[in-house]
């Protein structure tokens, strides 16, 4: 870490301005924000000096939403308006949330994702998550005394496209520039691997408050390659609390408890669960709203017996991930434990027994994801030579299309390394058919009804042909965030109908901008100032990068005329950036991007050629 | 604007165009390439560069996926030699091969119903042995241009075995749940 930095010949010698970037672990129970300072990743503290921000948001009739410890303290008094574990509702429909049992919220059925009626109006899980992220953004900006270039937000590896979209929307709604959505186990592996300079094959076992992930990664020379991932996006520490709650209710005859009492019961259950990590026995007093008070006891042995099935449920995904990675237990060099719920001794034991190895626990399981995200954010923001760290991640669930008879045709199989693109050809079923319904689904099952529906759209304007003559090419593209876009075109007739789809719950860019605008109480000027500052940062980075590129490859890859055009566009951008109109800067950036396209392509070709000739940059430097 | 992807997968990774590849060299080339082109390297770049990076990284992933798997590699090797394996359309298979497949599939279904894990282990081992000998045959056929047309049948047989493997995995999943 303490190496001296030497600029490349011809490059500006002024040290790079350190770009403020953060990693955010948006957790079911707690959320954290971390950053890299002087080469070391650290979690940033809240105003009250704590590291963990409880992921709890309370909405009252008037005033802004309360977030964190204060909201958490109100959960038993105002359960209907105090949203806990909102992560479980991200990208989920009303039928999904019904599976979590009795919840105190007034859910509203909405296309794609539930909404919740609160004292402050109807809120979607995206809104609620955005409140949490906003607090973390402000906290980071205050603590780092500057504006953030961007953030890496972590998501469970087993999150599907709907859940990822929702998370990204929430981050944008919170005014964050999302550098990347990063899978939580991968983030943990980064923090862990870099800390321990490990090489080999690792399993990351991540049991959080509401989600379970298992990822198998290969670490070699700074590359973290995810071989397979699996999990259960509705299994976590919360379920252990529920199990204790259900047990007490039965054992003590606490019938038909109110929402308040249920909330209290679960809070006590969590306390006792945590105590049982270090103690053999624990007890709590539960005062109920109708005056009765219960003394509740539980031994570790009882607790472990009643939750054995939950622990067992984690092992099935582990086996599947190993099988998908074509590995056996013997191939695993180490197991990394992540998430607060892995503190439970019987979880530790089950994992150790399964792998025949003691899991690694030397990093705080609550912090490790945020730390890894901060390291990746630092790389993406350009503060560190990306040379030494590269993450190759996968999609967790297969993506496909509905075909005749409600069957799924898989287009991109699970555990494909991203980014990935795949085209699939279809044809018409009837003579003269001019439209085709395209239904995009995600999941492993063979029937459409057993998979998650992501989007439906229609390709229209197919020229009438006999059945089977048309060739409809449906293209799936998954980007480095694991997000899908789909387009379709008819190839025989040359008629191209292209439709970009977003999952049905997804918000359009305009909607996000409008919501963002509305959420800033002091409205327009702030938005303008923010946009201006963002565009200036982008302009400066682009010019800096281009100058370096020109110094390196300008002579060999560009003609005199091309270079003149590029330099003129660069000057225009520099001039625009001194002005106060963010629209003009944006246009100048787009203009410069256009005139440098060919140059960028040639540079890319050259670096590809160099890489494969084995003529690595490091060799040249010596 | 799109990047030039006229190279085939072997050329992309600077490997000799041959079914018999050095897997370690493939992995090295794939990593070296991703280090240069992955979108993470271009998070701060212009939109045009980001698009290029995504295209290149997608191309690298596709190429790696194809060459890493011997079956996909064999199919692809035939494809770049102008021979399609027609696995969807050509279902003409030797009768004794089909009978053997039927027998194995029934055995998998029975073992699954009887939750007979040792039997499944045995079937899995048989499948692997059969697959291994077919891959040896494929390697031989793909090394002689005169034998390339014959390799089509071997690829189709291997596809049957791959499906059988998926069924065995699925059966393991069910009985160990």
Residues A175-191: pLDDT tens digits? 999 999 999 999 999 99
Q: Which residues of A267-296 are buried (b: 16+ CB within 10 A; e: fewer)?
A: bbbbebbbbbbeeeebebebeeeeeeebeb
Q: What is the pLDDT of residue A115?
A: 94
Cα of B39 to nearest chain A Cα, Å: 7
Instruction: Find, among A603, A588, A615, the residue nearest to A558 by Cα.
Output: A603
Would you tell me the crossing angle of helices A597-612 and A523-557 to the nearest 10 degrees? 60
Which alpha helices (DSSP H) does A451-522 contain, by range?
Answer: 509-519
Residue A509, C-beta contacts closer than 8 angstroms, at least 6 positions apart:
none
Give the pLDDT mean for A376-386: 82
Residues A209-248: pLDDT tens digits? 999 999 999 998 889 999 999 999 889 999 999 999 999 8
- DSSP structure class, residue A255: -
The verdict on a CB contact (< 8 Å) between B38 and A387 is no
Residues B115-162: pLDDT tens digits? 999 999 999 999 999 999 999 999 999 999 888 999 999 999 999 999
- At residue A254, does pLDDT exceed 80? no
Residue with tokens 């991200």: A90
Which tokens hold the place of A466? 């006999």
- At residue A501, does pLDDT exceed 70? no
Which alpha helices (DSSP H) does A253-324 contain, by range?
Answer: 259-275, 300-306, 308-324
Report which of residues B4 and A264 the model is more confident about. A264
Counts for chain B of helices (H) and strands (E), in that order: 7, 0
Q: How far apart are the first and last CA of chain A?
A: 19
- DSSP structure class, residue A499: -
Burial class (CB within 10 angstroms; exposed 0-12, middle 13-18, buried 19+) of A497: middle
* Inter-chain contacts counted by CB atoms under 8 A, chains A and B: 117
Catalytic residue among A78, A127, A160, A184: A184
Instruction: Determine how β-strand A200-207 pairs with β-strand A334-338.
Output: parallel
Map B121-135 to HEC letters: HHHHHHHHHHHHHHH
Q: Which of A75-84, A125-134, A528-537, A560-569 has the lowest mean pLDDT?
A: A528-537
| 8 Å CB contact between A86 and A125 | yes
Considering A104-113, A379-388, A471-480, B70-79, the range whose residues carry the highest mean pLDDT is B70-79
The verdict on a CB contact (< 8 Å) between A380 and B43 is yes
Distance of CA B139 to the CA centre of its chain: 13
- At residue A91, does pLDDT exceed 60? yes
| 8 Å CB contact between A183 and A483 | no
Map A155-194 to HEC letters: ECCCCCHHHHHHHHHHHHHCCCCEEEEEEHHHHHHHHHHH
- At residue B10, does pLDDT exceed 70? yes
Give the pLDDT mean for A301-311: 96
Average pLDDT along chain B = 90
Q: Strands across the sheet with A82-84, in order? A: A66-67, A56-58, A82-84
Which tokens hold the place of A515? 């919501």
Separation in Å, CA A270 to CA A30, A267, A300, A303, A346: 14, 5, 13, 12, 16
Q: What is the pLDDT of residue A363?
A: 87
Which tokens hold the place of A60? 């009252």
Q: Nearest 5°: CA angle at A259, between A257 and A262?
A: 60
CA distance B76 to B21: 13
Q: What is the pLDDT of residue A515?
A: 64
Q: What is the pLDDT of residue A244?
A: 94
Burial class (CB within 10 angstroms; exposed 0-12, middle 13-18, buried 19+) of A524: exposed
- A619 counts as catalytic: no
Instruction: Nearest chain B residue to A394 by CA: give it.
Output: B61
Instruction: Nearest chain B residue to A387 by CA: give it.
Output: B35
- At residue A605, does pLDDT exceed 50? yes
Longest dimension (CA), chain B: 60
Residue A410 has a CB neighbour count (10 Å cut-off) of 17
| 8 Å CB contact between A32 and A51 | yes
In order, the DSSP letters of B157-171 are HHHHHHHHHHHHHHH
Is A320 touching B (CB cutoff 8 A)?
yes
Average pLDDT along chain A = 87
| 8 Å CB contact between A382 and A16 | yes
Give the pLDDT mean for A261-274: 91
The verdict on a CB contact (< 8 Å) between B32 and A604 is no
Instruction: Find, among A476, A442, A451, A381, the residue nearest to A177 by Cα.
Output: A381
pLDDT band at residue B31, thresholds of 50, 70 and 90?
Answer: very high
Q: Nearest 5°: CA angle at A517, between A177 and A22?
A: 20
pLDDT band at residue A3, thresholds of 50, 70 and 90?
Answer: very low
Which of B27, B36, B121 is the mutation pick for testing A, counting most A CBs within 10 A?
B36
Instruction: Find, among A341, A244, A340, the residue nearest to A294 by Cα.
Output: A244
| 8 Å CB contact between A368 and A376 | no
- Residues on chain B touching A594 (C-beta within 8 angstroms): 48
SS3 state at B10:
helix
Q: Which helix (H) or strand (E) holds A284?
A: strand A281-287
Q: What is the pLDDT of residue A112?
A: 81
Identity of the residue in A386, A601, A613 whose CB atom sits nearest the CB atom of B3:
A601
The verdict on a CB contact (< 8 Å) between B1 and A601 is yes
Residue with tokens 């539930």: A114
pLDDT band at residue A39, thresholds of 50, 70 and 90?
Answer: confident
Q: What is the pLDDT of residue A618?
A: 42
Residue A194, C-beta contacts closer than 8 angstroms, at least 6 positions apart:
A375, A389
The verdict on a CB contact (< 8 Å) between A380 and B40 is yes
| 8 Å CB contact between A470 and A433 | yes
Residue with tokens 């709650």: A245
- At residue A621, does pLDDT exceed 80? no
The verdict on a CB contact (< 8 Å) between B37 and A608 is yes
Q: What is the pLDDT of residue A256?
A: 64
Longest dimension (CA), chain A: 87
Instruction: Find, among A469, A460, A466, the residue nearest to A496 by Cα.
Output: A460
Q: Which residues of A154-189 are buried (b: 16+ CB within 10 A; e: fewer)?
A: bbbbbbbbbbbbbbbbbbbbbbbbbbbbbbbbbbbb
Q: What is the pLDDT of residue A525?
A: 65
pLDDT band at residue A617, thresholds of 50, 70 and 90?
Answer: very low
Burial class (CB within 10 angstroms; exposed 0-12, middle 13-18, buried 19+) of A553: middle
Q: Which of A22-26, A380-384, A447-451, B159-163 has the lowest mean pLDDT?
A: A380-384
- At residue A545, does pLDDT exceed 90? no
Distance of CA A485 to the CA centre of its chain: 17
Is A418 touching B (CB cutoff 8 A)?
yes
Cα of A139 to nearest chain B Cα, Å: 24
Q: Which helix (H) or strand (E) holds A482?
A: none
- At residue A387, does pLDDT exceed 70? no
| 8 Å CB contact between A188 and A32 | no
- Residues on chain A touching B1 (C-beta within 8 angstroms): 597-598, 601
SS3 state at A241:
helix
Give the pLDDT mean for A22-48: 93
The verdict on a CB contact (< 8 Å) between B54 and A479 is yes
Residues A391-408: pLDDT tens digits? 999 999 999 999 888 899
Distance of CA A506 to the CA centre of its chain: 15
pTM for the model: 0.88
CA distance A508 to A169: 9
| 8 Å CB contact between A66 and A60 | yes
The verdict on a CB contact (< 8 Å) between A421 and B41 is no
pLDDT band at residue A523, thresholds of 50, 70 and 90?
Answer: low
Q: What is the pLDDT of residue A506?
A: 59
Give the pLDDT mean for A60-84: 93
Give the pLDDT mean for A317-335: 93
Residue with tokens 């800390």: A195
Is A479 touching B (CB cutoff 8 A)?
yes
Instruction: Determine how β-strand A293-299 pairs with β-strand A334-338.
Output: unpaired
Cα of B33 to nearest chain A Cα, Å: 6
- A366 counts as catalytic: no
Name the A residues in 246-285 with CB < 8 Å from any B CB: none
CA distance B9 to B18: 11
The verdict on a CB contact (< 8 Å) between B173 and A319 is yes
Residue A549, C-beta contacts closer than 8 angstroms, at least 6 positions apart:
A599, A603
Q: What is the pLDDT of residue A136?
A: 96
ipTM of the complex: 0.89
């Amino acid at each position: 870490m303490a190496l001296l930095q030497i600029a490349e010949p011809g490059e500006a010698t002024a040290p790079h301005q350190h770009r403020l970037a953060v990693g955010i672990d948006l957790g079911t129970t707690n959320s954290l924000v971390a950053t890299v300072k002087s080469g070391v990743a650290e979690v940033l503290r809240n105003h009250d000096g704590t590291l963990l921000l409880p992921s709890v948001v309370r909405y009252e009739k008037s005033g802004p939403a309360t977030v964190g410890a204060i909201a958490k303290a109100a959960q038993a008094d105002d359960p209907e308006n105090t949203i806990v574990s909102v992560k479980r509702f991200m990208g989920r429909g009303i039928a999904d949330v019904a599976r979590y049992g009795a919840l105190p919220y007034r859910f509203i059925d909405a296309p794609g994702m539930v909404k919740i009626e609160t004292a402050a109006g109807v809120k979607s899980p995206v809104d609620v998550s955005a409140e949490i992220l906003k607090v973390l953004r402000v906290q980071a900006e205050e603590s780092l005394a500057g504006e953030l270039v961007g953030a890496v937000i972590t998501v469970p590896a087993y999150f599907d496209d709907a859940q990822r979209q929702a998370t990204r929307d929430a981050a944008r709604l919170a005014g964050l520039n999302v550098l990347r959505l990063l899978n939580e186990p991968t983030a943990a592996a980064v923090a862990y691997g870099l800390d321990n300079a490990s090489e080999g094959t690792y399993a990351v076992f991540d049991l959080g408050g509401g989600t379970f992930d298992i990822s198998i990664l290969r670490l070699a020379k700074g590359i973290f390659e995810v071989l397979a991932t699996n999990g259960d996006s509705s299994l976590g520490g919360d379920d252990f609390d529920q199990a204790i709650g259900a047990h007490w209710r039965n054992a003590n005859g606490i019938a038909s408890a109110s929402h308040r009492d249920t909330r209290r019961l679960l809070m006590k259950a969590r306390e006792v669960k945590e105590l049982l990590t270090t103690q053999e026995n624990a007890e709590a007093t539960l005062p109920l709203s109708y005056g009765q008070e219960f003394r509740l006891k539980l031994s570790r042995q009882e607790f472990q017996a009643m939750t054995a099935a939950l622990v067992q449920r984690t092992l099935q995904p582990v086996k599947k991930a190993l099988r998908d990675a074509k590995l056996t237990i013997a191939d695993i060099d180490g197991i990394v434990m992540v998430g607060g719920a892995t503190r439970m001794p019987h979880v530790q034991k089950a994992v150790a027994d399964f792998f025949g190895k003691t899991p690694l626990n030397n990093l705080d399981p609550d912090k490790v994801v945020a730390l890894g995200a901060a390291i990746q954010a630092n790389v993406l923001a350009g503060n560190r030579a990306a040379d030494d760290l590269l993450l190759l991640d996968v999609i967790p669930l297969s993506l496909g299309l509905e075909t005749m008879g409600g069957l799924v045709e898989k287009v991109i199989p699970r555990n494909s390394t991203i980014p990935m693109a795949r085209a699939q050809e279809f044809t018409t079923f009837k003579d003269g058919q001019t439209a085709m319904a395209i239904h995009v689904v995600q999941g492993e099952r063979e029937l459409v009804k057993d998979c998650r529906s992501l989007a439906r759209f229609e390709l229209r304007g197919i020229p009438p042909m006999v059945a089977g003559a048309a060739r409809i090419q449906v293209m799936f593209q998954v980007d480095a965030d694991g997000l899908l876009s789909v387009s379709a075109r008819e190839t025989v007739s040359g008629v191209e109908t292209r439709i970009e789809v977003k999952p049905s719950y997804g918000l359009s860019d305009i909607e996000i901008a409008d919501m963002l605008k509305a959420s800033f109480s002091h409205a327009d000027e702030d938005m303008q100032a923010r946009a201006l500052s963002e565009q200036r940062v982008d302009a400066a980075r682009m010019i800096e990068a281009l100058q370096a590129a020109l110094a390196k490859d300008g002579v060999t890859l560009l003609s005199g005329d091309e270079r003149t055009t590029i330099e003129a566009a660069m000057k225009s951008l520099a001039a625009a950036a001194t002005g106060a109109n963010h629209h003009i800067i944006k246009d100048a950036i787009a203009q410069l991007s256009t005139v440098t396209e060919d140059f960028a392509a040639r540079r890319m070709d050259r670096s590809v050629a160099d890489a494969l000739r084995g003529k690595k940059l490091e060799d040249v430097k010596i | 604007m799109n990047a030039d992807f006229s190279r085939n997968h072997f050329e992309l990774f600077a490997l000799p165009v041959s079914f018999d590849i050095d897997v370690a060299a493939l992995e090295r080339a794939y990593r070296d390439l991703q280090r240069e082109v992955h979108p993470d390297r271009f998070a701060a770049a212009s939109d045009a560069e980001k698009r290029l990076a995504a295209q290149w990284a997608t191309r690298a992933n596709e190429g790696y996926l194809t060459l890493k798997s011997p079956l996909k590699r064999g199919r692809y090797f035939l494809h770049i030699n102008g021979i399609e394996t027609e696995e969807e359309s050509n279902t003409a298979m030797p009768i004794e091969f089909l009978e053997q497949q039927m027998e194995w599939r029934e055995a998998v279904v029975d073992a699954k119903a009887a939750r007979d894990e040792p039997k499944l282990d045995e079937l899995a081992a048989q499948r692997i042995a059969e697959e291994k000998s077919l891959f040896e045959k494929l390697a031989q056929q793909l090394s002689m241009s005169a034998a390339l047309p014959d390799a089509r049948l071997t690829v189709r047989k291997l596809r049957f075995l791959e499906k059988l493997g998926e069924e065995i995995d699925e059966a393991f999943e069910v009985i160990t749940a």
